[in-house]
């Protein structure tokens, strides 16, 4: 069982690399723009692959347009990737928006903002929690 998992994982990693290259170099569709392939999950029978992508956009409507453009181009992308990979069966591609990167950046910005605000409050009050003279 572990061997089967490692094979699907290896195929997923190779598929991720090939998809990233194809989307960066061979896709001429202006609707897609800059896209990052974060991960690929391949089904156990290698018939389907769920491709997690991120765009440098925050607007939900633009993201939906880009995903639909990828879905329309999926057969073409699949053909290009199949020419690069030596697989008996090339998985069908399904593109899914991965918001984890954007959400992580948002959380990081919130934490940085809170830290800045705390430092400003401490400077305004002229005290520091680490100051040993106050104890």
Encode pLDDT of 19-32 as tens digits: 999 988 888 878 88
pLDDT at 14: 92
User: Could you tell me the domains of the chain?
Assistant: 2-98 (3.30.300.20), 100-135 (no CATH)
Residues of the chain with pLDDT under 50: 1, 135
pLDDT at 1: 47
pLDDT at 129: 54
Give pTM, 2 decimals.
0.72
- The tokens describing 81, both together, are 């990737």
pLDDT at 5: 58
């Amino acid at each position: 069982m572990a061997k089967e998992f490692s094979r699907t994982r290896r195929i997923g990693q190779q598929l991720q690399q090939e998809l990233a290259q194809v989307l960066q170099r061979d896709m001429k569709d202006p609707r897609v723009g800059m896209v990052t392939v974060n991960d690929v999950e391949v089904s156990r029978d290698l018939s389907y692959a769920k491709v997690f992508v991120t765009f440098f956009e925050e607007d939900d409507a633009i993201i939906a347009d880009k995903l639909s453009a990828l879905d329309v181009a999926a057969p073409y992308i699949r053909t290009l990737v199949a020419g690069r990979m030596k697989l008996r069966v090339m998985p069908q591609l399904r593109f899914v928006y991965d918001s984890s990167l954007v959400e992580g950046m948002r959380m990081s910005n919130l934490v940085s903002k809170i830290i800045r605000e705390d430092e400003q409050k401490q400077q305004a009050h002229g005290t520091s929690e680490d100051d040993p003279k106050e104890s």
